[in-house]
Amino acid sequence: MLKIFLSFLFILIPALSYSHSQLIEIIPKNNVIYTKSPTEIKLKFRSEVKLVRADLNNISNKDKKIKLDLTSFKKRSKEFTIPIPSISLGKYYISWRALSPDGHIIKGRSKFEVK
């Protein structure tokens, strides 16, 4: 009986680790220097999520927040494209939060620079 239980556990644990959706790609990419200001943020996830929040902050200007329009993201999706208003040279970071299919909050952060 113990062997059956342990076998079940070894099968179940990897499945649980994938229950939260993972970010596959973010553009602008983390720790990249761009010579031209990016015009959009792209987020790609392994499964459909609900984007709850996305912020763009100018590190060079005392973490000044830059307004992003998220009003069109009411439904779950695997991919989101968020327009970036015109930004100047400097260092920035993107922070995001999403609701995974199993109801857990997932979040992340990415830094980039425009020179």
Domain boundaries, the chain: 21-114
pLDDT value of residue 10: 45
Question: Which residues are CB-contacts of 43 (< 8 A; sequence separation ≥ 6)?
Answer: 23, 25, 26, 51, 54, 79, 80, 82, 96, 98
Question: Which residues are CB-contacts of 47 (< 8 A; sequence separation ≥ 6)?
Answer: 21, 78, 100, 101
Quick: pLDDT tens for 85-94: 999 999 999 9
The residue whose two tokens read 């009986």 is 1
Quick: pLDDT tens for 17-65: 445 679 999 999 999 999 999 999 999 999 999 999 999 999 998 889 9
Architecture of domain 21-114: Sandwich (2.60)
pLDDT value of residue 1: 57
